[in-house]
A = this chain, B = another copy of it.
Amino acid sequence: MALRHAVLAALLGGELSGYQLTKSFDLGVANFWHAQPQQLYAELTRLEKDGLIAGREVVQESRPNKRLFQVTDAGLTELADFTAAAAKPAFIRDDLLVKVQAADHVDTEALIAQLSERAAFAQGKLDLFDKLLRNMRGERTEDEFLRGGDPIGPYLTCLRGLAFERGNRDWCQRTITILRARARSSQQSI
């Protein structure tokens, strides 16, 4: 039941449409949760039915109409309860790690190709997160913003996203280096 809380948390920054939400939860961003559009629209419907968010129709001229949602008081209470409850630990669940686990039994070049791709992807997200952070803090230095900037929640989660992707990139690069060095030395010994 954490998707619902993720949606609530995302809506705290102000009214959003389902479509706008999908933009935050998709491939590119998703600095604190990830979900498919279908899941989000379904969750929005449920949240509204449960009174945790309220939607209003916005008529648009040269665009399809949209519905903007905002968190209700009941929604805030729900979030507070969720925050007080124990969080499940976060686990790694990553295709790429499965492939590396099997490194001794699969083709090294294929593995390196995957690692390079992931490193590039991570770098892309890194740049994006960096931009987002700059945007949030505006003129201020990071320290200044962390001391008194507002809202701080999205900034903090973005910092985690940044560190995570940096971790991904660095590990991929190091792993490539290691695998290449081993491939060279095993070739020499043949």
Contacts and interface: CB of A to CB of B under 8 A. Distances in A.
A74 interface: no
Interface stretch (A14-22, A44-52, A55-63, A113-121): A113-121
B34 A157 contact: no
Given A2-B98, A104-B150, A153-B104, A171 B160 contact: yes
Interface centre among A93, A182, A185 (most CB of B within 10 A): A93
Given A103-B152, A104-B152, 6 more contacts: A2-B93, A5-B99, A83-B107, A87-B118, A97-B157, A163-B171
Interface residues of A, number: 73
Interface in A78-123: 79-80, 82-84, 86-107, 110-111, 114, 117-118, 121
B79 A31 contact: no
A160 B152 CA distance: 28
A101 B102 CA distance: 36
B98 A164 contact: no
B156 A100 contact: yes
Contacts of A80: 106-107, 110
Closest 10 CB pairs of A and B: A34-B91, A103-B153, A32-B97, A90-B94, A87-B95, A9-B101, A9-B102, A104-B151, A83-B106, A87-B96
Nearest to A88: B95
Contacts of A12: 101-102, 104-105
B98 A84 contact: no
A100 B181 CA distance: 41
B92 A107 contact: no
B95 A152 contact: no
Contacts of A83: 99, 102, 106-107, 110-111, 114
A55 to B, nearest CB: 19
